[in-house]
Amino acid sequence: MRIFMIVRKPLYALGVFLIFLGFGCQDSKVSNSLVTSEAFRKLPKIDVHAHYKYPRTYLPDFFERWNMKAMLVDVAIEKGDSVVNNFENYVAHYMQFPELFYLCTTFTAKGIENPDYADRIIAQLQQDIARGARMVKVWKNFGMVSQDSEGNYIQIDDPRLNPIWEFLAQNKITVLAHIADPEQAWRTLDDPNNPHYNYYNNNPQYHAYNFPEMPSYEAIIAARDRWVASHPELKIIAAHILSMSNNIEAVAQRLDAYPNLSVELGARFGDLAMQDTDQVRQFFEKYQARILFGTDYGTGQEESQLSPEVVGAEEESLEASYQLLFDYLTKRDSMVVRKQKTKGLGLPKEVLEKIFSKNYLKFLADTK
Ligand SMILES: [Zn+2]
């Protein structure tokens, strides 16, 4: 949900992006793009992880220009006794532009100790699916936030969730799973150049290092792995590259071990950029059928509350943000991604076609 920051401070964020792009242009005089920019514009794209909660006048043109659709992903955040989510906003946006968007609902562990918990969640999901939801997101609430009445953290492999997974597997509904956070969340925040420095600096409530009572990174990842392994019929897209984007070898191990697993790239391009470009390219080529493009970009306020200047800056920032990710995937130029100096992957057209749309369209084709 990083663009929420951009939406709140768009001019500042725009400045940041311009700085990034400025650096990126320095030593990229010759583009050796493997696809021409015009062909790439026309390439069908699906951003499978987006949070466009509120419409924007510019968005329909923006998506058409890039031949792109987006999955509107609801997030449920537990705060004390209440759960905050925005499904109605996403439904309204989806209904307004059904040709541009897909819809993804969510649920939390709230009430998991009640005997009717799973039935109640399944009934809610049935309603959401009837209203257009094609996917269900589970968020890092599981593992890092939700606790039972005795203070135990609820992990994603909790057996009380099993009826929900069985319902989703039977109905061939994919789960988008953001479980755990980057390992950096459990470590000290001493390197301003780390791609996650700003997020944990701005969101100390998720900097697990500050909360020694929170389960360890390793414990949450182990619970996640057990969950994936024990539901082979459930189709899972692991958001944010499995929360292990700093270590593509570990990601590859999971993809080898669990055939029901795919990964989504949102907000983890900086981690990829820190690793050896050739190895990252080989990873994309080897697992090209199981990697999906996503961004985590979205809108956090209604357009009517923003001045035209702010909306204009937001659009420019969004264009620059997508362009940088597109450049990283399609070109082999030197560039800077989330403060990391790197070279683009310059992936072949067949790989780009898959990660940008074909892989997700396969998920949809498998739906009942
Ligand atoms: Zn997200």
> 344 C-alpha to center of ligand 1: Å?
24
> 317 C-alpha to center of ligand 1: Å?
18
> 84 C-alpha to center of ligand 1: Å?
15
> 251 C-alpha to center of ligand 1: Å?
19
> 107 C-alpha to center of ligand 1: Å?
14
> 177 C-alpha to center of ligand 1: Å?
10
> 178 C-alpha to center of ligand 1: Å?
8
pLDDT, tens digit (0-9, with 9 covering 90-100), for 106-133? 999 999 999 999 999 999 999 999 999 9
Q: Tell me how far CA of residue 234 lies from CA of 118, 170, 248, 257, 264, in angstroms.
A: 16, 8, 23, 14, 16
78 pLDDT above the threshold of 90: no
> 292 C-alpha to center of ligand 1: Å?
14
- 265 Cβ neighbours under 8 A, 6+ residues apart: 240, 241, 272, 291, 292, 293, 294, 295, 355
Q: Tell me how far CA of residue 232 lies from CA of 143, 314, 346, in angstroms.
A: 21, 41, 33
> 73 C-alpha to center of ligand 1: Å?
7
| Tokens, residue 90 | 């996403």
> 30 C-alpha to center of ligand 1: Å?
34
> 31 C-alpha to center of ligand 1: Å?
31
- 13 Cβ neighbours under 8 A, 6+ residues apart: 5, 6, 317
| Tokens, residue 131 | 């209203």
Band of pLDDT at residue 368, cut at 50, 70 and 90? low
| pTM for the full predicted model | 0.89
* Predicted local confidence at residue 2, as pLDDT: 44
> 29 C-alpha to center of ligand 1: Å?
34
CB 268 within 8 Å of CB 247: no
* Predicted local confidence at residue 33, as pLDDT: 54
| Cβ-based neighbour number of residue 107 at 10 Å | 23
Band of pLDDT at residue 366, cut at 50, 70 and 90? confident
> 293 C-alpha to center of ligand 1: Å?
13
Radius of gyration of the chain (CA): 20
Q: Average the pLDDT over 45-50 and give the result.
A: 98
> 356 C-alpha to center of ligand 1: Å?
17
46 pLDDT above the threshold of 90: yes
* Predicted local confidence at residue 6, as pLDDT: 38
DSSP string, 171-198: TTPEEEE--S--GGGGS----TTSTTHH
pLDDT, tens digit (0-9, with 9 covering 90-100), for 161-206? 999 999 999 999 999 999 999 998 999 988 888 888 988 999 898 8
Q: What is the DSSP letter of 357?
A: I
> 51 C-alpha to center of ligand 1: Å?
7
> 1 C-alpha to center of ligand 1: Å?
5
> 82 C-alpha to center of ligand 1: Å?
20
218 pLDDT above the threshold of 60: yes
> 4 C-alpha to center of ligand 1: Å?
10
Q: How far apart are CA 322 and CA 317, in angstroms?
A: 9
Q: What is the DSSP letter of 358?
A: I
> 43 C-alpha to center of ligand 1: Å?
24
Q: Residues 130-165, buried b or exposed e (16+ Cβ, 10 A)?
A: eebbbbbbbbbbbbbbbeeeeeebbbbbbeebeebb
> 303 C-alpha to center of ligand 1: Å?
20
* Predicted local confidence at residue 367, as pLDDT: 73
> 49 C-alpha to center of ligand 1: Å?
6
> 27 C-alpha to center of ligand 1: Å?
32
Closest CA to 14 of 321, 335, 340, 324: 321
| Helix, strand, coil % in the chain, rounded to nearest 5 | 50, 15, 35
Highest average pLDDT, of 203-217, 293-307, 328-342, comes from 293-307
149 pLDDT above the threshold of 60: yes
Domains of the chain: 3-140+152-196+218-366 (3.20.20.140)
> 96 C-alpha to center of ligand 1: Å?
21
> 230 C-alpha to center of ligand 1: Å?
25
Band of pLDDT at residue 320, cut at 50, 70 and 90? very high
Long-range own/partner contacts, residues 159-164 (CB < 8 A, 24 or more apart): 160/112, 160/117, 160/118, 161/109, 161/112, 161/118, 162/118, 163/118, 163/119, 163/122, 164/107, 164/118, 164/121, 164/122, 164/125
Tell me the pLDDT of the chain averaged across its residues.
89
> 111 C-alpha to center of ligand 1: Å?
23
25 pLDDT above the threshold of 60: no
* Predicted local confidence at residue 7, as pLDDT: 37
Query: Would the CA dihedral through 87, 93, 94, 100 be positive or negative?
Result: negative
Band of pLDDT at residue 251, cut at 50, 70 and 90? very high
pLDDT over 70 percentage in the chain: 90
> 353 C-alpha to center of ligand 1: Å?
23
